[in-house]
């Protein structure tokens, strides 16, 4: 009923993109708004301002030729003051972030040996976050935090390392 009368409700932690005859007009804040459809005004879409999380699994090789799967967790959100950029400039945010994470991890981890990679998880996360922040700010997104959750070596490498460690104590 509200749509036929031209009334639009924008929920909390959300903004709406208003267009007039298909051209961007303004960003609507949470609340009730009057958009008379008869003069071409409409909501093109909604954009959540909540923090979202993306877990990225990336397989790469370390300096000592050990294949590892690096699991990175990226927390990001759209910025209210750049909502039009976030809505119009990027069609698939998750894939874009994933591509940057892959790029940085595959450029950083191969320079490190396996033991050093475990020790420098925070440095890897910082490198990913800095690169993402530079890239995604032009699209209207903020990177809240980036964590390297896990570095998982190949199963055969895990078994071999466990056997070596077990041999030290017997």
What's the rounded Cα separation, in Å, for the pair 20 and 41? 4
Residues 69-104 have pLDDT tens digits of 999 999 999 999 999 999 999 899 999 999 999 999
What's the rounded Cα separation, in Å, for the pair 90 and 136? 10
Domain boundaries, the chain: 2-48, 52-168
Residues 118-149 have pLDDT tens digits of 899 999 999 999 999 999 999 999 999 999 99
* Closest C-alpha to 50, from 18, 19, 76, 71: 76
CATH class of domain segment(s) 52-168: alpha beta
């Amino acid at each position: 009923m509200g749509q036929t009368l031209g009334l639009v409700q924008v929920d909390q932690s959300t903004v709406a993109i208003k267009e007039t005859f298909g051209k961007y007009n303004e960003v609507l804040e949470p609340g009730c708004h009057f958009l008379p459809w008869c003069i071409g005004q409409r909501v093109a879409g909604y954009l959540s301002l909540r923090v979202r999380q993306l877990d990225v699994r990336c397989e790469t090789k370390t300096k000592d030729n050990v294949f590892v799967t690096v699991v990175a967790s990226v927390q990001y959100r759209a910025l209210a003051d750049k909502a039009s950029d976030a809505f119009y400039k990027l069609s698939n945010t998750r894939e874009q972030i994933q591509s940057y994470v892959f790029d940085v991890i595959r450029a950083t981890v191969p320079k490190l040996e396996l033991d050093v990679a475990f020790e420098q998880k925070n440095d890897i996360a910082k490198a990913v976050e800095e690169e993402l922040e530079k890239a995604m700010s032009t699209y209207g997104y903020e990177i809240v935090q980036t964590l390297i959750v896990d570095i998982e070596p190949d199963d055969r490498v895990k078994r071999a390392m466990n056997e070596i460690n077990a041999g030290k104590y017997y």
